[in-house]
Chains A and B, each alone.
Chain A
Amino acid sequence: MSAYIVTVSITIGIYVILAISLNIITGYAGQISLGHAAFFGIGAYASGMLATRVGAPFFVCLPFAVVVTGIVGAILGIPCLRVREDFLAITTMGINFVVQAVFLYVPFFGGALGISNIPVPSIHGSDMTKPEYLIMVLLFILLSILVDGWLTRSWTGLALSAIREDETAAEMSGVNLTRFKVIAFVLGSAMAGLAGSLYAHFMSFISATDFGFAESIVILSMVVFGGIGTLRGPIIGAIVLGVAPELFRPILNYRTLLYGVMLVVLMRFQPQGLLGIDSFVTRTLKRLWKKETRGYEPAA
């Protein structure tokens, strides 16, 4: 494999984890977030700073980043609990701008210079090679998939889908909204923190500009494109939207614009996402495979 392909694959792999993590908050729990890049950034900064300032090894920095991001996710999630859907979009967007500004203007976080010279993880006393790093990212994707699978099969996952479908009916069925929304925010944020740590130690240099609102839109586009609320959706979305700009280089400059337009169009005409349950594409594929679609005719 060429170094270029390995590099692109690592980047896309990190996006896969980000998309899976946002899908927990927005897809499963139904809480729209336009600020997911903030948590990606908090994980990256937590990991990068512990490595460069304290000299902690990568395998200490990574769990540290996950825990810190999870805790911050819980704290920042609280103002999101009692707001209506439209305000939630604005609140999360605001969180993104605030977090980014803190990275940029508070000297402790390195200001505009960001954090540099973040060390490459080492195994057996030598630096990890890029292919080895890719394998590690793939293992963490696998871990994320396992966590996702556990969540969707658990009572907690069921409670989240009830909240997504109807908050009032969920409460009256014994689901404590505060508790489960916080759980979703913590899980989704912590997983984004994991992605942030992987990003920081791969890039070796991070700065506030990497974690802006545009990045949040990219992550959300991946989830929505693939099919919100499914596991395959964010994975396929991250891969397709991650590969596309590499194939069509000119897209790169207009990426955010294109994704933004795509988001609006999908939300309007195909809110389940292109490959979501019951989406046009999924139904067509099912029909092609002649799998029986299970429907129920009330009259029958």
Chain B
Amino acid sequence: MNPLLEIDAVSKHFEGLKALDRVSFSLGKGEILGLIGPNGAGKTTLFNLITGTFPPTEGTIRYNGKDLTGLGPSRIAAMGIGRTFQIVRPFKGLTVLENVLVALGASRYPRFLAAARRFRADDSVSEAKALLSRVGLLKISDVKAENLPLGMKKRLEIARALALHPELILLDEPAGGLRAEEMEELVSLVASLNREGMTVLVIEHNMPVVMELCERIVVLDHGIKIAEGSPEEIRAHPQVIEAYLGREEDA
């Protein structure tokens, strides 16, 4: 079976810094893959490359067999790659419902006439509400996003990503900063999305969360892929242990 996402010898250099150095791995349809590594390893940079924020210095990224190089972020989003952000970025001044509607519009925006229609039409509002109820935010759909606590902002970002009708979602530290019970809600949400067929690439620092969610894990350190394997393999991997212990000594 063809992989959904292929990262093929991808490098990204910022001036002298090699944020990513010839990283390769792929992600099959319906898979859930964890991306871990110490701070500054290049994880978020990889998300930015996949979503088209900037092009790779070298290498190619293919989605459904199609080279993503040169496509802008809005095109890539509309092709069905949704993402959330390490530091949440909801549309603060818009309501929870409007936040989701923005991404639901992805199929309308490219066509001038469709973009001229009312966005609060029944079909779009009911679809947005269905997504909000999925993440447990339906009751507060008219609240401005800036007034939500962090856990809800994170779930709102997931609902917004789902509104793109994605085949693949990229979650950047979804459990970061959450309280224990919020974290559990989040893990079960992601797990249930994956059970329904959603392909997930998740960056996460919280090891129990990664171990619970992921079948396979890729480890980055200083821009280099140092390991790939099942949670058990990763836990026992000498280079991974070293990368993490080394970091703790620094701190």
Contacts and interface: CB of A to CB of B under 8 A. Distances in A.
Contacts of B78: 174
Nearest to B88: A169
Contacts of A173: 77, 102-103, 105-106, 160, 163-164
Contact of B85 (A153, A156, A169): A169
B116 A172 contact: no
B126 interface: no
A266 interface: no
B111 to A, nearest CB: 10
A174 B94 contact: no
Contacts of B143: 294, 296
A104 interface: no
A177 interface: yes
A204 interface: no
Contact of B119 (A154, A169, A174, A179): A154
A147 to B, nearest CB: 11
B72 A171 contact: yes
B90 A174 contact: no
Contacts, number: 108
A296 B72 CA distance: 36
Given A155-B109, A158-B98, A159-B109, A172 B115 contact: no
Given A154-B118, A155-B105, A155-B114, A176 B148 contact: no
Interface string A161-174: 11011101111111
A286 to B, nearest CB: 15
B72 A169 contact: no
Contacts of A174: 74, 77-78, 103, 105-107, 109, 164
Contact of A153 (B77, B102, B118): B118
Nearest to A164: B93
B44 interface: no
Contacts of A177: 74
B138 to A, nearest CB: 14
Given A165-B92, A168-B53, A158 B101 contact: yes
B146 to A, nearest CB: 9
Contact of B108 (A155, A168, A295, A296): A155
B117 interface: yes
B164 to A, nearest CB: 6
Contacts of B152: 298
A159 B117 CA distance: 12
Contacts of A150: 116
A50 B75 CA distance: 42
Given A168-B53, A171-B72, A173-B164, A295 B85 contact: no
Nearest to B81: A172
Contacts of B116: 150, 154-156
Contacts of A161: 91, 93-94, 98, 102
B119 A162 contact: no
Contacts of A164: 93
A171 B90 contact: no
Interface in A254-300: 294-296, 298
A162 B164 contact: no
Interface string B18-35: 000000000000000000
Nearest to A159: B109
A157 interface: yes
B73 A155 contact: no
Contacts of A154: 115-119
Contacts of B72: 171, 176
A166 B91 contact: yes
B90 A169 contact: yes
B89 interface: yes
B68 to A, nearest CB: 14
A175 interface: yes
B199 interface: no
Nearest to B140: A296
Given A156-B115, A159-B115, A172-B82, 15 more contacts: A153-B120, A156-B116, A157-B119, A158-B102, A166-B89, A169-B160, A171-B74, A174-B103, A175-B102, A175-B106, A176-B74, A177-B74, A180-B109, A298-B148, A298-B152
11 contacts: A155-B105, A156-B115, A158-B102, A166-B90, A166-B91, A170-B102, A174-B78, A175-B74, A177-B74, A179-B109, A296-B140
Interface of B: 51, 53, 72-75, 77-78, 82-83, 85, 89-94, 98, 101-103, 105-110, 114-120, 140, 142-143, 147-149, 152, 160, 163-164
Interface of A: 150, 153-159, 161-162, 164-166, 168-177, 179-180, 294-296, 298
